[in-house]
Amino acid sequence: MIYAVGTLAAWLGIAALLTAIASCLRRNWRRAWVSGLLAGLGWMISGLLPMTPESRVAPGSGWSLPVVWLTMNVWGWMVAFCGVGLLIRLGQALSSWRQRHRPVWGWLGCTLASIALAGHFGIEANLLKGRISAAPLSWLGGLMWVVVGMLIFAWAGRTPQGARWSRGLATHAALVLGSILFSIPLFWLLLTSFREDRDTNMADGFRWWPRVMVTTEHVDPKNPYLEMSYRGQRVEGFLLEGNPAQVRIERPSIMRGLTVPHDAANSRTISQRVPVVTGEYEGQLFEGKVVRSRPDGLQEILILRPASLAQKEIVLSPGDTQPVWRSGPKWSNYSAATEYLPLESERGLLYLRNTLFLVVMTVIGTVLSCSIVAYGFARVRFFAKNFWYALLLATMMLPGAVTLLPSFLIFRELGWIDTLLPLWVPAFFAGAFNVFLLRQFFSSIPMELEDAARVDGCTILQTFWRIMMPQIKPALTVVSIWTFMGTWNNFMGPLIYTNSPEKMTVAYALQLFLGDHSAEPTLMMAFATMAMLPVLIVFFAAQKYFIEGVTLSGLGGR
């Protein structure tokens, strides 16, 4: 708690300092003097409070600011939320006696109830402590940029046009900053997919940009690395020790460790990539490549440099050497992730074809069926139309688990189990939400367009296809995007209706891959990136129509 109070005082001191600078620019000397006094008071409190030794930064590493973050379970956050709401309502009530105090009693009841629940289930809280350290010149440079920004805004605010410009710039800066903050998980996903497994822990400090271990080619005459064909599949591996008639497969990864007969007529020796390491030998620093790993854990290293030790083979333990790193992405994570997929999947292309087929058929079926039904409810007169429309909307209240078993029994009687038919045929029977959305668009289109079409001799279907459908392009785009994303990420449907690996989709394969390789974060992120990339491309390519469909009404095509 003392560390949290000190952290709060330090950051309030920074806020007071910035307020003092802004007040000086506006020539509000009284406010500047008070803010400067508060800044000094905050830093003095932060400096006098006893901080825990483990949270202090090492001497000589520059200036630092403390940071804290409270982690709690749901009951702790419930008590904190209700307590803050109660304090705010109490402050409002004390500031104005004429204000109605009924909200205070409501928040008091919620606070007492949350405290009772927290007392029964228990509160798990943990205060994470740390510091942001940097060189003094870095802090002064950051403060200089803040002062320069304040000067620019103060200069621009002297005229109405400059004030509008500064407000617009501040709004756009806040939006850019917010988008960057919300995009941090995406950036972390992408950067982790390009890392080495040994670089994910980052024991020597936090790094955003990935780095890879340097490797080089090597041909071992004692234990050659072979390439051959096995059952129509290209494989790589080593001759089995003591039995040259057998080969232990290394690649593809799904077959690693499998022993197969050696086809000497159709095999050839190829080079393999071995890591480059550095260490100390006979008092000299060296750089060499690991040519062989022994069963006892030792490594045989061929020294590359310096020239005085070049081409000399030594034996060291892995703890006596360090890998050589270079900055850059590891592109091979993506190909390595696909090597873990079953051979019949064609390195994931089969799953991609299944998913694309389902996406195309589902989008076509949803757009056609929902638009026809919505047009009928919006423009066509028939018996008990409102009743049938209300009944259709009522189906939205049915949870998916309620209709799951009846749907499965129907598809089983049709003989559609272990096929893709249950995953796209229902799309040609309109869904309630999309019908509701499109009906609202159709209803807002002026009737004069249909009347003009009838005068020109158009039938109902011609009016629907040539006149009405072009008017709701934004809405159709929204429905298409939602349907595409839902179908692409559909995991439950393939899990229930398909059994064969050749019927799997990308989402289903992703879940199985994450379950099998949960201890390999780089491969997990690489596979997740490949599965997510088409959705991102479609969304960003169609975001203009998506926004139009959400904001515009029936005449969205104009």
Cβ atoms within 10 A of the Cβ of 98, count? Answer: 5
Q: How many residues make up the chain in this entry?
A: 558
What is the full DSSP assignment across 469-524? HHHTHHHHHHHHHHHHHHHHT--HHHHHH--SGGG--HHHHHHHHHHH-TT-HHHH
- What mean pLDDT is predicted for residues 47-57? 57
Tell me how far apart the alpha carbons of residues 288 and 499 are, in angstroms, rounded to a whole number: 50
CB 225 within 8 A of CB 269: yes
Neighbours of 86 (CB within 10 A): 20
Of the pLDDT bands very low, low, confident and very high (cuts 50, 70, 90), residue 58 is very low
Other beta carbons within 10 angstroms of residue 531's beta carbon come to 22
Judge contact between 538 and 454, C-beta under 8 A.
no
Q: Which residue has the higher pLDDT, 98 or 349?
A: 349
Mean pLDDT computed over every residue of the chain: 83
Question: 376: which 2 tokens?
Answer: 């009928």
| Angstrom distance (rounded) from CA 206 to CA 331 | 21
Q: Cβ–Cβ contacts within 10 Å for residue 527, how many?
A: 26
Burial class (CB in 10 A: 0-12, 13-18, 19+), 434: buried
Give the pLDDT score at 55: 43
Question: Is a pLDDT exceeding 70 seen at residue 557?
Answer: no
- How high is the pLDDT of residue 287? 92
Q: Is 204 exposed, middle or buried (0-12, 13-18, 19+ CB in 10 A)?
A: exposed
Q: Alpha-carbon distance 222 to 269, whole Å?
A: 12
Report the pLDDT averaged over residues 338-362: 90
What is the rounded CA–CA span in Å between residue 427 and residue 344?
A: 29
Measure CA of the first residue to CA of the last residue in the chain; give whole Å. 59
Percentage of the chain beyond pLDDT 70 is 92
Question: Which amino acid does the sequence have at 558?
Answer: R
Alpha-helix residue ranges (DSSP H) falling in 96-133: 102-121
**What is the spatial distance between Cα 303 and Cα 281, in angstroms, rounded to a whole number?**
10
Which pLDDT tens digit goes with each residue over 497-523?
A: 998 888 899 998 888 888 888 788 888
* pLDDT beyond 50 at 60: no
Q: How confident is the model at residue 203 (pLDDT cuts 50, 70, 90)?
A: low
Q: What is the separation of C-alpha 235 from the centre of its chain, rounded to a whole number of angstroms?
A: 34
The per-residue pLDDT for 84 is: 86
Weakest mean pLDDT among 28-42, 129-143, 441-455: 129-143
pLDDT number for residue 255: 85
According to the model, what pLDDT value does residue 71 have?
A: 77
Q: What mean pLDDT do residues 247-265 have?
A: 86
| Residue among 191, 216, 186 nearest 202 (CA) | 191
pLDDT beyond 90 at 65: no
Q: Are 103 and 110 in contact (CB under 8 A)?
A: no
Q: Which of 57-66, 98-107, 133-142 has the lowest mean pLDDT?
A: 57-66
Q: Where residue 4 falls among pLDDT bands split at 50, 70, 90?
A: confident
pLDDT of residue 341: 86
pLDDT for 99 equals 56
User: CA distances (Å), 72 to each of 76, 126, 175, in order?
Assistant: 5, 6, 29
Residue among 225, 193, 232, 226 nearest 210 (CA): 193
pLDDT at 282 over 90: no
Q: How many CB atoms lie within 10 A of CB 78?
A: 19
* pLDDT surpassing 90 at residue 239: no
Pair of tokens at residue 325: 């790193």
* CA 5 – CA 49 distance, rounded (Å): 8
Q: Amino acid letter at 128? A: L
pLDDT of residue 554: 40
Q: Which pLDDT score, from 0 to 100, does residue 367 have? A: 94
Measured CA distances, 273 to 258, 312, 362, 537 (Å): 20, 19, 45, 34
10 Å Cβ neighbour count for 194? 22
CA dist., res. 227 & res. 236, Å (int): 5
Distance CA(431)–CA(448), nearest Å, equals 29
Instruction: Indicate the DSSP class of residue 416.
Output: -
pLDDT at 558: 41
Q: What is the residue whose two structure tokens read 């919300």? A: 182
Does residue 61 register a pLDDT over 70? no
Kindly tell me if the per-residue pLDDT of 136 is higher than 70.
yes
Poorest-pLDDT segment among 126-135, 309-318, 379-388, 549-558: 549-558
**Banded model confidence at residue 373, pLDDT cuts 50, 70, 90:** very high
Please say if the pLDDT value at position 479 is more than 80. yes
